[in-house]
Amino acid sequence: MQIFLGRHNLDGFLFVGDSICDGDMYYLTHFLAGDRFALLAQEKTTLLVSSMETGRAGKESIADECLSTSQYQIMDKLKRCEKPEDAYCRVLVEFLQDHGIRRLGVPFRFPAGFYQPLLQDFEIYVLESPASRCREIKRQEELDAIAGTQRACERAMRRAVLLIGSSKPCGELLYREGQPLTSEKVRGAIEVSLLEDGCEAMDTIVAGGPQAADPHARGTGPLAANAPIVIDIFPRSKSSRYFADMTRTVLKGEALPEVKEIYEAVRLAQAAGLLAIRAGVFGKEVHSRVTQVFQDQGYPEREGRGFTHSTGHGVGLDVHEKPLLSEIGEALEVNHVVTVEPGLYYPNIGGVRLEDLVVVKKNGSENLTHFERQLVL
């Protein structure tokens, strides 16, 4: 932190928010709170929390100091100010002045409602968070946490695949126990499995038929027989707070020749991407190798159909973080954790995507995903 502050000639870097939504704040404090608090990063880190959270913050956080807004007479300020936000901003001013702040850094997502008033008392510079680069390189305990979430992810995927595999094609739809099998039913089974493993997930994708042609469509309604079903699960551990991410595409019934060909092209593209990963290789090179496989297999489209997204992204306290495997992907480093998830999407067929989660190593990668690739169940 001192190097970052010195490089930018800053007296401190301020975060204001909650650590459930802000991975940087959790990374720097290990204090999980859904209510707003302030974090001042200098040579030491200081938390400013409400009086209700002071005791817990002092016990749970790794911050060097924990202060309460009551120490800055927040209640008196609330009585004098027309708006609670004005009172909180006055507390922030006194808090920052007490810590010798004149030149202050804030992250891009800093609340605009506080930025403008604070400009009256401080020089403020909006910068990339100093935690973001640190978060890219995972420590061993972080790798262990991600691997643990991945195991829960795979158990949930197994439950989904078994549920679809036990269904029966009847006409254009899949049926199970006399009722159409729906995206909601499969997604519910996934979510129950994750809850049993102490994980949570939002927007799990179970999209079949034409719905799967949209890479981020959650999927709704009855699942189609004889059509690919994209299952994308990206859970977060409630205890460690670390995400995992994986995708498989399955089909119940008879696969059309063009679906088999698309699936094989995606499998080959993913294999090329996985093989390309090692420390020192640029993310854009990995992405280029994947797109080249698609072109060689006769699938050159990139806009609106075909391979419409990047090859992968970092995973950690956020499900999408740096580094990127895309046209602008920078050099990979040892203990980066990234997904490799090529896909092909066509409105008249649907979509096929395969996604593994890997750790970058000096001479290759370690695949954290231990789940088979099988199209037809």
Domain 137-367: give its CATH code: 3.90.230.10
Residue 133 confidence (pLDDT): 86
Give domain limits for the chain: 2-135, 137-367
What is d(CA 270, CA 248) in angstroms, rounded to the nearest whole number? 12
Q: Give the model's pLDDT for residue 112.
A: 93
Q: Please give the pLDDT value at position 309.
A: 96
**CA-CA distance, 5 to 290, in Å (whole number)?**
39
- pLDDT of amino acid 57: 94
pLDDT tens sequence across 332-367: 999 999 999 999 999 999 999 999 999 999 999 999
Q: Distances from the Cα of 28 to the Cαs of 19, 53, 98, 128, 327, in angstroms?
A: 10, 17, 21, 15, 30
Predicted confidence at residue 304, as pLDDT, reads 87
What average pLDDT score do residues 195-214 get? 96
pLDDT at 225: 97
What does the pLDDT read at residue 121? Answer: 95
Average pLDDT, integer, range 261-278: 98
Q: Is residue 255 scored above 90 in pLDDT?
A: yes
Secondary structure (DSSP) of 109-155: T--HHHHHHHTTTSEEEEE--HHHHHHHS--HHHHHHHHHHHHHHHH
Token pair for residue 7? 């490089």
Q: pLDDT tens digits, residue range 25-49?
A: 999 999 999 999 999 999 999 999 9
Mean pLDDT of the chain: 96
If pLDDT is split at 50, 70 and 90, which confidence band does 153 have? very high
Degrees (nearest 5) of the Cα angle 31, 32, 33?
115
Q: Kindly report, residue by residue over 106-139, the tens digit of the pLDDT.
A: 999 999 999 999 999 999 999 999 998 899 999 9
Number of H helices, E strands in the chain: 11, 21
| Domain 2-135 classification at class level | alpha beta
Asked if residue 195 has pLDDT above 90, the reply is yes
Q: What is the pLDDT of residues 64-110, one digit of tens each?
A: 999 999 999 999 989 899 889 999 999 999 999 999 999 999 999 99
Crossing angle of helices 183-196/140-165, nearest 10°? Answer: 140
202 pLDDT above the threshold of 90: no
Each residue of 311-336: pLDDT tens digit? 999 999 999 999 999 999 999 999 99
pLDDT at residue number 303:
85
pLDDT on residue 2: 83
Label residue 224 by pLDDT band (50, 70, 90). very high
pTM above 0.85, yes or no: yes
Asked if pLDDT for residue 239 goes beyond 90, the answer is yes
* Cβ pair 9, 31 in contact under 8 A: no
